[in-house]
Amino acid sequence: MYTQSLDTDPLANDPKEVSDKRELELKKRISEGYVVEPRDDMPERYRKTLIRQMSQHAHSEVVGMLPEGNWILRAPTLKRKSILLAKVQDEAGHGLYLYSATETLGVSRDALYEDLLQGRAKYSSIFNYPTLNWADVGVIGWLVDGAAIMNQIPLTQCSYGPYARAMVRICKEESFHQRQGFDLLNEMMQGTQKQKDMVQDAVDRWWWPALMMFGPEDSDSIHSEESKAWGIKKKTNDELRQTFIDVTVPQAETLGVTLPDPQLKWNETREHYDFGKIDWNEFWRVVSGSGPCNKDRIGVKKKAWEEGAWVREAAMAHAMKSKGR
């Protein structure tokens, strides 16, 4: 671990100059492969950027349990119910690793959670869409976890040690999630016409929101440039979205589903798929709280927090008693 403080010239006394110098110094070290650890001195802007992204990521994991959790009691077989239970439980675990990693930056989990419940913190837009039929569970695994992996693999190399390490384990689990989703859909696509129609209907509803998970176009991304300079983001939103499309189109062909974009076409010159226009008005509407399920998702989380108060109190009383206080 690198323990040297990021102190700057003590003779420099303009605070702005000192902080700019510290930021440049850290950016340079990061570009040389330096990994920042919690005890390192770090510029406030780096810390704030990490808290923003990591807490949004943690919130996405715990809110992300809701759309699929909705199907646990209705899973069609014991095998699918066990898989779904394990997956939803994994998402809770991801939330916990990420809240813990964020706490290493000097912010409490309670404060972060309060921000989520009060609607001050964002979480991924994708979880504000409803799960209407059983095939939605498969499509979430295939497309939503697939998009999440694409976005998260570069984060295993990010400059903040606790975030990078959390991502290694999370990516392994997401990979299982993606495969179980594909497997579920593949099974349905061997079934009746009604099952095939359910899969196509789910794909039609989730394709565009899945592409929105990567965030706004690079030209509208507020944080990308700064986050890249800090070594937090390794690839831009558009780069990751394009890679996701390129790997997913052949998978859709294998499954036998049609992706709902008539402009999706291999471009020999670019060696990438061209695709149609994303509805960015819809994206911003959902991000700013007016998606189909925003109110419901936060309502469920608030209710669980209030109804779980006695569990937190009992756990605290037990912990105090064990410590003899």
Q: Which residues sit at the interface with ligand BYC, rule CB under 6 A?
A: 52-53, 56-57, 60-61, 64, 91, 122, 124-125, 144-145, 148, 151, 212-216, 221-224, 227, 233, 237, 287
Residue closer to ligand BYC by CB (options 197, 279) is 279
Question: CB-wise, 8 or 221, nearer to ligand BYC?
Answer: 221
Whether 154 and 236 have beta carbons less than 8 Å apart is answered as: no
At its nearest, how many Å lie between ligand BYC and the CB of residue 148? Answer: 3
Q: Cα dist. 175→163, 206, 251, 277 in Å?
A: 18, 19, 15, 28
- Given the complex with ligand BYC, which of 135 and 196 has the nearer CB atom? 135
Residue 123 CB, nearest approach to ligand BYC (Å) = 7
Considering beta carbons, is residue 137 or 196 the nearer one to ligand BYC? 137
In whole angstroms, the minimum distance from the beta carbon of 74 to ligand BYC comes to: 18
| DSSP letter string, 65-125 | HHHHHTTGGG-SSHHHHHHHHHHHHHHHHHHHHHHHHHHTTT--HHHHHHHHHTT-S---G
Taking Cα atoms as reference points, which of 186, 176, 178 lies closest to residue 244? Answer: 178
Q: By Cβ distance, which residue is nearest to ligand BYC?
A: 64
Least separation in angstroms between residue 232's CB and ligand BYC is 8
Cβ distance to ligand BYC smaller for residue 48 or 318: 48
As measured in angstroms, the least distance from the Cβ of 218 to ligand BYC is 8
Residue 135 to residues 88, 146, 183, 184, 223, Cα–Cα distance (Å): 16, 16, 11, 8, 35
Tokens of 249: 């189109």
Closer to ligand BYC by Cβ: residue 196 or 275: 275
The Cα–Cα gap between 229 and 234 comes to 9
> Which is closer to ligand BYC, CB of 148 or CB of 257?
148
Which region, left, alpha or beta, applies to residue 231 given φ > 0 means left and ψ of -120 to 50 means alpha?
left
Kindly write down the DSSP assignment for every residue of 219-265, as one continuous string: GG-SSHHHHHHTTS-SS-HHHHHHHHHHHHHHHHHHHT---S-TT-E
Which phi and psi angles does 114 have, rounded to 5°?
A: -60, -40
CA 129 to chain centre: 15
Output the smallest distance, CB 201 to ligand BYC, in A: 20
- The least CB distance from residue 93 to ligand BYC, in Å, is 11
